[in-house]
Amino acid sequence: MSAIGDAVRFLNDPLNWTRTNGLLDRLVEHVTISAVATVAAAAIALPLAIWFGHTGRGGGFTIALSNVSRAVPTLALLIVFAVTPIGFGNRATTIALALFAIPPILTNAYVGFREVDRDIVESAGAMGMSPLQVIARVELPLAVPAIMVGLRTAAVQVVATATLAALVGGGGLGAPIVLAFAQQNGGLALAAGFLVAVLALLTEVVLVLAARFVTPGPATRRFPRRLQMRTETV
């Protein structure tokens, strides 16, 4: 297939990587936007989840948010944001992506906190731990696997959604894909699609390894089975 040859040739040309707005620039842009958005979402969602999870409040809200967010197309929200004062461009994309990333982080962390055995929480209290100590030393460590599933889901989703931003004038690795479709250039489409797929898979792998690294206890401990499946893609 000539498109595959074209794609390999395109990726092998150093100039395609190093020129202004070349693949390297786009890659850096993509990773920066995604990282900032994910960290910002975590900074908002994790404290909320800890509060909700510890007190047992907000469960209905959290579940409803995650259900509704699945029905709303990310592309639609991205375009709706683009015509509001948020606008478009990299800053606006980052804000939109951060908003998309909140539901998965919030839901998984909340469920992780709620799944902590109540007996353990009660005995921690009986041992004289303050509520803050219970959160930091008992609930949080036990909820780490679930929190990491949420972060991974959010990060992969953000990396994927960041490509869609190119449809509304954004940068990142989606831009060469949009260009490829506009020029009907199969080789470029394959090459850029390959890079985006590799970036998404790498994000997944890195965060699986990070989860293994930060999870306390024996390394063989598995993730909670029913949290493993991500049910969102973009």
Partner 1 sequence: MALLASGATLLATDAPNPWFSPSYIQNNADTILAALRQHVILTVSAVVIGALIALPLALLARRSKTISAAILGGSTIIYTIPSLAMFAFLFPFTGLTIETVIIGLVLYSLVILVRNFLAGLQAVPADVREAALGMGYGPARMLVFVEIPMALPTFFAGLRIATVSTVALATVGVIVGFGGLGNILVAGFNNNFFRAPIATAAALCVILALAFDLLLALSARLLTPWSRGRS
C-beta separation of 162 from 93 below 8 A? yes
**Residue 200: which residues within 8 A CB-CB, separation 6 or more?**
156, 159, 160
* Amino acid at the residue 49: A
Q: Is 47 exposed, middle or buried (0-12, 13-18, 19+ CB in 10 A)?
A: exposed
Closest to partner 1 by CB, 5 or 47: 5
Q: Does 223 bind partner 1 (CB under 8 A)?
A: no
Q: Does 80 bind partner 1 (CB under 8 A)?
A: yes
Q: Does 186 bind partner 1 (CB under 8 A)?
A: yes
Residue found by looking up tokens 């949290």 in the block: 227
Among the residue ranges 102-110, 115-123, 214-222, 223-231, the one whose residues contact partner 1 (CB under 8 A): 223-231
Closest to partner 1 by CB, 54 or 152: 152
Closest to partner 1 by CB, 63 or 129: 63
Alpha-carbon radius of gyration of the chain? 20
C-beta separation of 111 from 227 below 8 A? yes
C-beta separation of 41 from 102 below 8 A? yes
Among the residue ranges 40-48, 99-107, 138-146, 199-207, the one whose residues contact partner 1 (CB under 8 A): 199-207
CB of 64 to partner 1, least distance (A): 13
CA distances from 21 to 29, 161, 190 (A): 10, 20, 18
CB of 199 to partner 1, least distance (A): 9
Query: How many residues lie near partner 1 (CB under 8 A)?
Result: 48
Q: Which residues, numbered 38-77, are part of the site for partner 1 (CB under 8 A)?
A: 70-77
Report the C-alpha gap between 124 and 15 in whole angstroms.
Answer: 60
Residues found near partner 1 in the complex (CB under 8 A): 1, 3-4, 70-77, 79-80, 82-83, 156, 159-161, 163-164, 166-168, 174, 177-178, 180-181, 184, 186-187, 189-190, 192-194, 196-197, 200-201, 204, 229-234
